[in-house]
Structure formats: structure tokens, C-alpha cells
Chain A
Amino acid sequence: MAGTALQRRLTWRVAEVVDLGDETPRVRSLVLSVPGWPGHLAGQHVDVRLTADDGYQAERSYSIASAPAAGERLTLTVERLADGEVSPYLAGELRAGDKLELRGPIGGYFVWDIAIGGPLLLVAGGSGICPLMAMLRLRQAAGSDIPTRLLYSSRSLEEVIYRNELDRLVATGTALDVRLTLTRDQPERWAGYHRRIDTDMLTEVAWAPNERPLTFVCGPTPLVESVAESLVNLGHEPTRIKTERFGPTGG
């Protein structure tokens, strides 16, 4: 088997939950063991399918948050949506030892590998951080010094997913800059941004257009569209801006 280079028909596989951990009050990571997993690229996603005992099925897509690695493990990070159908199950009901069906890896557009290079601009809103975290984890695991900037918008500090790990990546990595913006609640003496991502913020954080950064934007559709539009207006090449929107997944 030649990893992901080998194209095959997608098949549903049965994965086992081997570990779970809360990232924030509403967000949980699931570590899955997937027999036969062919490996993945940073930024790819999987489709998860749940089946009730009467045969009813619900299917959703989730980005893979773990770096590509040898072995048959991968991590999904799921935000529990209040009126959701699948996410409350994945991020609430599921326990270690449970099984679920998934297929993947899927996607060849919103992907990054060390060989693709940089500089890298990553822009996330909420749980849009997940596929970008796979890229940051890959970069760290490879000891890469590709210049990388992350601009990450959350409602509050408590809702920043992977907060400690991001701190650690900045402290131990090379040429990585992480900026947070907290749009709703800020801690006392918060020195960072406290508004939605706008053109001024992108002017300050993004690489200059003539440095030709490769940009990945992931989050709710309004954020993704406004960030992409701002970057194009600032002179960035549209073909070097890759986007992934959350849609009406119904959670």
C-alpha cells in the first residue's frame, strides 16, 4: 500500500474510540483506532456515519485534527451543537471502547504538506482550528521552520480549543506566531484583539502579499467569506487562499 497516493473506492470502516478528552466545555477530542487506515494528509476530513437500532442513519464530515503519522490512529475534535443530532452524541454520549463508522481520508484541495512550503497563514474561527491544527502538529513533528502565522477567533478564552498546546507549540517551535482574537468576552488586562477579524487585523497579522503566503481559512461561512474577500482586496493571490466553510450540517 502506498499511503494516500493509492486511489481506491472509499469504504466505511469501523473505528474504535480509544481515548476522549475535553478541549473546552463544549468541545471534545476523540482518539480513534481505525484498522486498515491508509494514512492521511493534514487538512483532510472523514465522513462519520451513525446508525440507530431501527436503521436510521445520520452522516457528518469532521476534519482530522491529528498530524499524519504512521499507524492506525487519528483524532477528531467535535464541537457539541445545542440543536445538533450527531455532535451531542460524538461529544457527549460516546465512551472509550465504543465503535463508529467512518470513511476517508477525503479531500485533496484543503491540504498541506511540508513539501508544499510557505510562508503559511492560517486563519480559524471556532472549531475551524481543527484541520489547521493538523498542519501545525505536522509542522512541529517534522521540526519544520516554515514561517507560520495563526490568527484564531474565539468567543472567549475558555472557548479557545488547544490553548495549552498552542502555547507549547509557540514556546518550543521555530518561526511560529499565534494571535488570538476574543470576540465576546475577554479576561481582565487582555492585550490581544477583541473584535471580529477584519481587514485592519489581517493587514497587521498576514504576510505582505509580495511574500506570497499560502493561506488556509476555516470556520463559519460568514467568517471565511469575509476573510477571503479582505485578503484578496489586500492584494493576495486568490489561488493561494484555500477555504473550508462550515455549512448547515445540523451538527
Chain B
Amino acid sequence: MGFVSRAFKGRPRDQPRDARVPPGQYLVRDFPVLSAGPTPHTPLAEWSFSIDGEVDAEKHWTWEELRALPSETVTRDIHCVTKWSKLDTIWEGVSVDTLLEGVETAADYVMAVCDGGYTTNLPLEDLTGGKAWIAHAFDGQPLESQHGGPGRLLVPHLYFWKSAKWIRGLRLMNDDSPGFWETYGYHMYGDPWLEQRYSGD
């Protein structure tokens, strides 16, 4: 190895190896904010959520209608591609299973679409079976806009760029198609346990 900076340690990253921390990740206590663009501020009265694309009939909810659906409180670990992980985060949200009830589709993939134009692609089966939520609260408080409020997708078993902030809908697709970061080389699936950060990993 080449150059070493004398006595430089860097941020703590060799905490006791926790079986819950994927390889290459370090733990944080705060909640870093990453963003690919400005924070949108859509008034709740104008906010809506839709399921469209390869479906027999599109579905739409207003904010009030979404909030009237049953919500679950879940405690999950989250893992960001920038190498931080945060354990035992507490979210409240509507299960994607609830939103997909009664939706007829042959699609295998989903594009999450967001305010501000951000998109990310996921297999449909990663959003169903109690694995994903439209989260509207974090740590008992309404989700703040810099963390994706009023509503963000929560898919904690994948790298966190898949948990799209400011989500406004799920577009069902027959074939996989890259979202915003995936277009520029981020991994199409993004399993933190396999360190699937970039295409080819």
C-alpha cells in the first residue's frame, strides 16, 4: 500500500462486528441526508399517490385517503450505499401489500416515481409480502421533508437509495428498466449483504 497519514483513524468503523451490519458498512447514530435535488414542498391538499402502468385499473389516493388506510409500525435496520448503516429505526407506514390489494397485474417490476423526477426500479416481489411500506412517520414524528416526507418508500432490505424519498406512485412494468441512479451505473437490485453497489458488483 502507498501513502499513510500518520495517526489518522477516520470515522469509527471497526465497532464490534455486529451480525446485523452488512460488509463494508459502519454504524451511525445520526441520520445523514443525501439528495439528488432540491426538496419538493407539495402541499398535502395537492398530494396524491397512484398505482399505474401495467395494471387493469389505476388506483389513486389523496393524502387523507392514504392516511385513512391501516398503518403499521415497524423497526428495521437501514443501509446506505455511502456506507452508513443505522439500526433499529422506527417507521410508521402503509404496507405496499395494502395498496396492491385488488390490483390485477402480470408485471414483475416496479418503478417508484417521485416528486422532483427521481425514480428507482425494484422487482415487484421485493415490495410485497410485508417487505415494503409507504412511510409517513419516523421515530414517532411525521416524516420531515429532508428525510422524504410527507411519504417515502421504505424497502429496508435493499440499499437505501431504493427507499425513494417524496414518493408519489408505483408504476408497474413487465420488464426491468433503470431508474435515476441505476441509469448511471448503480446496481439494478442493490442487496447490501452482497454489496451490490454498482452494476457489475
Query: Which of A's residues lie within 8 Å of B, judged by CB?
Result: 12, 14, 50-58, 85, 89, 93, 98-101, 248
B20 at the interface (CB under 8 A from A): no
Are A14 and B3 in contact (CB-based, < 8 A)? yes
> Given A14-B3, A56-B13, is A51 in contact with B8 using a C-beta cutoff of 8 Å?
yes
Are B9 and A98 in contact (CB-based, < 8 A)? no
Are A93 and B8 in contact (CB-based, < 8 A)? yes
> Given A56-B13, A248-B33, is A93 in contact with B7 using a C-beta cutoff of 8 Å?
yes
Q: Report B-chain residues with C-beta under 8 Å of the C-beta of A101.
A: 3, 5
Q: Report B-chain residues with C-beta under 8 Å of the C-beta of A89.
A: 5, 7-8
CA separation between A14 and B4, bound complex, in Å? 11
B36 at the interface (CB under 8 A from A): no
B16 at the interface (CB under 8 A from A): no
Q: Report A-chain residues with C-beta under 8 Å of the C-beta of B13.
A: 56
CA separation between A89 and B10, bound complex, in Å? 9
CA separation between A53 and B7, bound complex, in Å? 8
Are B6 and A51 in contact (CB-based, < 8 A)? no
* Across the A-B interface, the 8 shortest Cβ-Cβ residue pairs: A50-B5, A50-B8, A56-B10, A85-B11, A52-B10, A53-B4, A52-B8, A51-B5
Q: Report A-chain residues with C-beta under 8 Å of the C-beta of B32.
A: 248
Q: Return the chain B residue nearest A54 by Cβ.
A: B14
Contact of B4 among A52, A85, A93, A248 (CB under 8 A): A52
Q: How far is the CB of B103 from chain A (nearest CB, A)?
A: 39
Are B9 and A51 in contact (CB-based, < 8 A)? no
Q: How far is the CB of A58 from chain B (nearest CB, A)?
A: 5
B44 at the interface (CB under 8 A from A): no
Q: Report A-chain residues with C-beta under 8 Å of the C-beta of B5.
A: 50-52, 89, 98-101
CA separation between A57 and B5, bound complex, in Å? 9
Q: Return the chain A residue nearest B13 by Cβ.
A: A56
Q: How far is the CB of A161 from chain B (nearest CB, A)?
A: 24
Q: How far is the CB of A91 from chain B (nearest CB, A)?
A: 13
Q: Report B-chain residues with C-beta under 8 Å of the C-beta of A52.
A: 4-5, 8-10
Q: Report A-chain residues with C-beta under 8 Å of the C-beta of B9.
A: 52
B1 at the interface (CB under 8 A from A): yes
Quick one: which of B8-29 are within 8 Å of A by CB?
8-11, 13-14
**Residue of A51, A98, A99, A248 with most partner-chain B CB within 10 A:** A51
Contact of A98 among B2, B6, B11 (CB under 8 A): B6
